Amino acid sequence: MGLVEGKNAIVTGGSLGIGTAISLDLAKEGANVALTYRSHPDEAKEVARQIQEMGRQSMAYQIDVSDFAATQEMVAKVAEEFGGLDILVCNAGMNWDGVIWKMTEEQWDRVLSVNLKGYFNFARAATPIFREQQSGKIVNVTSINGLRGKFGQTNYSASKAGIIGLTKAMAKELGRYSVNINAVGPGLIETEMLRQNPARDKVEQMALGEIVLGRLGQPEEVAWVVTFLCSEKARHVTGEVITVDGGQYM
């Protein structure tokens, strides 16, 4: 029996990288999974297909996570389609880098709107369900750069730090209803986004100089921790930020 057998989950940003790994691992461990995507429809549909091949229910929704009304509608629809909702994993995010003295208002607003407001939007939709049923799991994917800050990423670092505050405050509010809310903070993970980065070699070498295990993380290594936090084996863990970074932030 899987760690999340029979549970119903939503994973935002599930079409690529870490989000795909989380979606597939939750399904392998027994969950039905609805995933969101913004601009990779073929990849999202392929993830949903793989989940369905495991004998689970799955659907892929194209959505802008910063759109409050659309997220409320989607969560209600998934809960109706699946016959309930037990797990929310907020992972969808973006970066639009720049040093603070050159950063535009648009850069700031867009990154905060997706990375932080997007998490609020989904939590706002899911927490009434979890509160009423007296159970539920939320895992927010943040970053070690929300803990330490990153040169050239004031907007991204601020959004990821905000996710940590959001996680801890929600954990205090929902604890009395037996809802566990935690965050996972990856370091540099080997994803398609990294592979396509024109500065990949420089970024990778800088990270490897910090990572005590001497290698980049893999998406599934983040997914395994997320699935654990979504399971009853983590029922006495809440309000925590677990770094998955090979010792990069230490």
CA 26, 27, 32: angle at the middle one, nearest 5? 105
**Quick check: helix, strand or coil at residue 179?**
strand
CB 222 within 8 A of CB 14: no
Q: Are strands 87-90 and 58-62 parallel, antiparallel or unpaired?
A: unpaired
pLDDT at 115: 98
CB 119 within 8 A of CB 88: no
φ/ψ of 9, rounded to 5, equals -130, 150
The structure tokens listed for 141 are 């994917």
**Quick check: helix, strand or coil at residue 162?**
helix
Q: How far, in whole angstroms, is CA 225 from its chain's centroid?
A: 12
φ/ψ of 49, rounded to 5, equals -65, -45
d(CA 147, CA 161): 6
DSSP 187: -
Please list the active-site residues: 156
pLDDT at 192: 82
For residue 247, give every residue at least 6 positions away whose Cβ sits within 8 Å of its Cβ, in sequence order, or none: 210, 211, 212, 213
Place of tokens 């677990």: 242
CATH architecture of 8-244: 3-Layer(aba) Sandwich (3.40)
Per-residue pLDDT of the chain (250 residues; tens, 9 = 90+): 999 999 999 999 999 999 999 999 999 999 999 999 999 999 999 999 999 999 999 999 999 999 999 999 999 999 999 999 999 999 999 999 999 999 999 999 999 999 999 999 999 999 999 999 999 999 999 999 999 999 999 999 999 999 999 999 999 999 999 999 999 999 999 998 788 888 889 999 999 999 999 999 999 999 999 999 999 999 999 999 999 999 999 9
pLDDT at 199: 84
Neighbours of 148 (CB within 10 A): 12
Identify any residues that bridge with 122 across adjacent strands, giving them in sequence order. Answer: none
CB 110 within 8 A of CB 96: yes
Q: Is the dihedral of CA 75, 222, 43, 116 positive or negative?
A: positive
pLDDT at 125: 98
